[in-house]
Structure 1
Amino acid sequence: MKKKRFLVAGATGYLGQYIVKELKKQDYFVRVLIREEKQKELFSNVDEFFIAEVTKPETLNNIANNIDYIFSSIGITRQRDGLTYMDVDYQGNKNLLNEAIKSNVTKFEYISAIDGDKFKNLKIFEAKEKFVEELKNSSLKYSIIRPNGFFSDMKDFLDMAKSGKIYLFSHGQYKLNPIHGEDLARFCVKKLISNDNEEEQIGGPDILTQNEIAKLALKAWNKEIKIIHLPDFIRVLIIKLLRIFTSSKVYGPIEFFLTLLAKDNIASTYGDKRLEDFFLEEVRKTKN
């Protein structure tokens, strides 16, 4: 039986690295898109590398040749090269989709974020969800995954807790269920190789309030529980000031984070990794 062949774009990111590990664990052929030769060092078990930039379509020529499935978590994170969300999250992924269509790829999976389709007014989602529509209207089968926050995003709580106190906006009772990258990768691969078009919001096994996450972070550092609740107008003011005085690449992720802090973000539960264990492990690594 022919081994399924995958292309992973966004492989150097938090989720992308877990995706590569999960695919190799299941003994699939994996081609990884990287921007620079030195990024090969991030991987120990990859079948092929393809060096290109998604914003330069001429560099992507034939990237999807002999590929069955494409996974993409391509998006602006900390790049400093003057590109916009539309350049990367939309057009970059569209360039990749064009190659997928040209090579008759079976299915294309794209990672947005929870409630992305409901918050297209946010800069970070405007581009992501524009690509989602492009993908859904293409000739390919698709999988669109909107994860809740990653465990890695929750390290902001842990960083604050180290000082002995955590600041939250409003009452801290809004709920979320963040997910570990390893659990999410397993879910993404399962959905990618299914025969159906998929569109799902997914989170981890534990639904927690912001107050409960703060307590877990403080306990991980062995600190007394000290949570300070700030008036919500401060959060709104920060978003407005950032929009006025910074570029979209600076305020985009913060606007997204602060907007989602002011509501429940509960997705379908999945996986077995617990945030409490993650916090304890992160503190242990810091102390060693």
Structure 2
Amino acid sequence: MTILVVGATGTLGRQVVRRALDEGYKVRCLVRNPKKATFLKEWGAELVAGNLCYPDTLPPALTGITAIIDAATARATDSLSIKQVDWDGKVALIQAAKAAGVERYVFFSLIDADKHPDVPLMEIKRCTELFLAEADLNYTILQLCGFMQGLIGQYAIPILEGQAVWITGESSPIAYMDTQDIAKFAVRALSVPETEKQTFPVVGTRTWSAEEIISLCERLSGKEARITRMPINLLRTMRRVLRFFQWGWNVADRLAFTEVLANGKPLDAPMDEVYQVFGLDPTETTTLESYMQEYFARILKKLRELDYEKTKTKKKQTSKKTPFKS
């Protein structure tokens, strides 16, 4: 079986590539810039240039493809909008997949996408789920809610560097999951017939509020966080202002998503039946405690080594005799 991974250079996509290769699948990656994806080629994947926003580039990439794992999404810093990538691009990809006779399509959506019609990314995910279900493909939809990897830049690094940690509104408890574990579900779906034409939540072992994550980071780092709270009304004002400028549309759409994260309602779902269907062991799923503990142990060790080398160099410099003329 040959898999096409879309969004392969992203936080989740690269883990899907790694997992699929480890399990013996042939992997092809659709990439906009092959030069920035050389690490995927070094892993053993095939690279093919293409762009969701240019439908003519998709059919050549789909030649000989059995299944697609679609991890692509627009980024806040992209020049392309969420609609262009997550709707127009996905519609083009699904249509091209159907025309090419692709047998399986794994799509990553979001938990509770149907409950937030005013949030562009959530509404587009919901519409894509419906479009995929009507496309007569053997699809599997995995509904996610948050990556542990994103917490490093959001909480861990600011706390280590003594920078402000921003909290908005009433923090929503979120069942964050390691992208390596999400990749397990995505790749396993290809070999489990019971996942065909089904939708599953794929979330972490428990929910965590912002305050709980900060407390965990403080304990593991030995440093106190500088917490700054941003009123939700200020974010709404910023979003309205940014909508006046085309360059600000992506950021404005992302700010709309922060309201989902700041309304106090948990983002979670029961996973017992999901593990049974996929045949995976829940005890092997990474917990947020172990993920953060490993990160801080590694980074603090590195900081100690750097401090040691710095002190060692300084001692050598002070011990040198200054030459002088008699």
TM-score of the superposition, structure 1-length normalised?
A: 0.88
Equivalent runs, 1:26-175 vs 2, <5 Å: 26-43=23-40, 44-81=42-79, 83-155=80-152, 156-162=154-160, 163=162, 166-169=165-168, 172=171, 174-175=172-173
Aligned to 1:221: 221
Structure 1 residues 112 and 236 mapped into 2: Cα distance closer, same or farther (>3 Å)? farther
By percentage of residues, which structure has more helix? 2
| Alignment-derived partner of residue 190 in structure 1 | 188
- SS at 2:238 equivalent: helix
Q: What is the one-letter code of the residue matched to 2:286?
A: K
Tell me if the contact between 2:235 and 2:255 (Cα under 8 Å) persists in the aligned partners: no
Mean Cα deviation higher: 88-97 or 245-254: 245-254
- Counterparts of 2:170 and 2:114 in 1: how far apart (Å)? 26
Q: Is the 8 A contact 1:110 1:145 kept in 2?
A: yes
Secondary structure of the corresponding residue to residue 47 of structure 2? strand
Q: Which residue of 1 aligns with 2:311?
A: none
Give CA-to-partner distance per residue, 1:168-222, whole Å, 9 cap, x none: 34565x4221000111100111224332212122211233333221211112221
Query: 2:267 pairs with 254, 265, 288, which one?
Result: 265
1:41 maps to amino acid? T
- Whether the 8 Å contact between 2:34 and 2:48 is mirrored in structure 1 is no
CA-CA distance at 1:165 after TM superposition: 6.8
Count matched residues: 280
Q: Paired residue for 2:313?
A: none
How big is the shift at 1:42? 2.3
CA distance in 1, matches of 2:16, 2:52: 19
Structure 1 residue 137: Cα displacement: 0.6
Select between 139-148 and 35-44 the one with higher mean Cα deviation: 35-44
Aligned residue type for 1:103: A
- Offset of residue 118 of structure 1: 1.7
* RMSD over equivalenced CA pairs, Å: 2.3
Tell me how far 1:71 sits from its aligned partner.
0.6
1:204-249 deviation per Cα after TM superposition (whole angstroms, max 9, x unaligned): 123333322121111222124x685848xx1233123223235220
Larger Rg: 2
Q: Which stretch shifts more, 61-70 or 237-246?
A: 237-246
CA distance in 1 between counterparts of 2:159 and 2:259 reads 19
Tell whether the 8 Å contact from 1:31 to 1:48 is kept in structure 2 after alignment: yes
Cα distance, 1:272–1:98 mapped onto 2, change above 3 Å = same
Aligned match of 1:181 in 176, 179, 182? Answer: 179
Change (3 A) 1:249 1:17: same
Note the C-alpha offset of 1:151: 0.4
Higher mean C-alpha displacement, 263-272 vs 139-148: 263-272
| Segment drifting more, 25-34 vs 260-269 | 260-269
Which of residues 22, 25, 30 is equivalent to 2:22? Answer: 25
Q: Which runs of 5+ in 2 are unaligned?
A: 272-281, 303-326
Provide, for residues 120-144 of structure 1, a one-character-per-residue CA deviation record: whole Å limited to 9, x for no partner: 3112223232222211110101111
Aligned partners of 1:59 and 1:168: how far apart in 2?
41
CA distance in 1, matches of 2:254, 2:168: 17
Aligned twin of 1:206 = 206
Hey, what's the Cα distance between the residues in 2 that align with 1:268 and 1:168?
27
177-186 or 31-40, which deviates more: 31-40
In structure 1, distance between residues paired with 2:255 and 2:297: 28
Inter-CA distance 86–167: structure 2 relative to 1 (3 Å threshold): closer
1:242-261 superposed matches below 5 A: 242-246=239-243, 247-261=248-262
Residues in 2 aligned to 1:276 and 1:9: alpha-carbon distance in whole angstroms:
30
Q: Is the 8 A contact 1:164 1:218 kept in 2?
A: no
One-letter amino acid of the structure 2 residue matched with residue 121 of structure 1: D
Question: In structure 2, do the counterparts of structure 1 residues 33 and 151 end up closer, same or farther at CA, with 3 Å as the change threshold?
Answer: same
